[in-house]
Structure 1
Amino acid sequence: MRRAVCPGSFDPVTNGHLDIVGRASLMFDEIVVAVLINQSKAGLFTVDERLEMLATVTKPYTNVRVDAFQGLLVDFCRAHDVTAIIKGVRVAGDFDYELQMAQMNYGLSGIETLFMPTNPKYSFISSSLIKEVAKWGGDVSPHVPDLVAKRLQERFAAARK
């Protein structure tokens, strides 16, 4: 079985993330969308909330499952028989950073990283930008799944009270 991982924080998941996951799902037998548990960084959504949203929005992809990990990605890959890491790249800066990570991961484990260019219609979308726009009441619904837009609206409406 050819299994790949799409790692990230997914705080929150965007349509750009889903585009990468969907395209990767056509190339591998199984895709694991792995949410990084970073205890030193407070997210807008808890890891459990992110896992739940990801499970819901990836349901149409029958060969995609979601999981969480802590520590080194290569250790997660070894433990789950993952043979490739899929990374979406939007701009040259993404590539510069991701190339260093890919080379380190390969050196540590021999696991290959495949870079997938983002669909141009999603090239400006980032979770950070989505959160910033949503925080100020902007409409992010064209850029995230409906469930995520609703959760963002609820989260920031509660924060304004």
Structure 2
Amino acid sequence: MLKGIYPGSFDPVTFGHQDIIRRSAGLVDELIVGVLNNKAKSPLFSVKERVRMLNEVTKDMPNVRIVPFEGLLVDFARRSGASVVIRGLRAITDFEYELQMAQTNHKMEPEIETIFLTTSLDYSYLSSTTVKEVAAFGGDISQFVPEFVADCMKEKMNLKGECKL
């Protein structure tokens, strides 16, 4: 059984993430979407909220599990029994960073391979940071994120007083 991990912050999950998840799920028997709890960052959404959003937008994908994690990706992969890490690439700048991370992970754990999927052209410009910036200024984010995520963004931003959506 081929088990893969698609790790990320997903703060929030975008159509680009959803596209990579759907395509990755078709490549492996089981896909674990690893939601990183990165203590060096200050995310808009808690890990629990991000897991909830991802569970909602992947509910029609039976071989996808959403699992929070912290620490090294290779340790998470070992604990999960995954042999493949899947990463999405939007641009050449992503590749430089992702290649370095893949090589580091492979050095630490030679049995874990990294597969790169290029982002669909429709989402090559899209990032969670962009979505948060558009939302913070009251812009329409419905073309960037699933409806459930847009509703969560509106609620969160209004609660924080950061926008008037």
TM-score (norm 1): 0.98
Amino acid at match of 2:115: L
Any idea what SS the aligned residue of 2:35 has? Answer: strand
Gaps of 5+ in 1: none
Residue in structure 2 matched with residue 51 of structure 1 by the alignment: 51
Letter in 1 for 2:123: Y
1:71, distance to aligned residue in structure 2 (A): 0.6
Counting only pairs closer than 5 Å after superposition, residues 4-153 of structure 1 correspond to structure 2 as 4-110=4-110, 111-153=112-154
Percent identity between the two aligned chains: 48
Letter in 2 for 1:7: P
CA distance, structure 1, for counterparts of residue 128 and residue 91 of structure 2: 15
Deviations 1:94-119 (A, max 9, x none): 00000000000011001110000000
Matched AA of 2:64: V
Distance 1:132 1:103 in 2: 32
Q: Find the aligned partners of 1:60 and 1:154 in 2 and give their Cα distance.
A: 24
Other structure's SS at 1:105 match: helix
Per-residue deviation at 1:154? Answer: 1.3
Listed one character per residue, the Cα deviations across residues 29-86 of structure 1 (whole Å, up to 9, x for unaligned) are: 0000001111221110000000011011111111000001111000000011101000
Distance 2:101 2:87 in 1: 10
| Partners of 1:40 and 1:20 in 2: CA distance | 25
SS at match of 1:153: helix
Letter in 1 for 2:83: T
Counterpart of 1:37, as a letter, is N
Residue ranges of structure 2 left out of the alignment (5+ in a row): none
Instruction: Give the C-alpha shift of residue 159 in structure 1.
Output: 2.2
Q: Distance in 1 between matches of 2:152 and 2:132?
A: 11
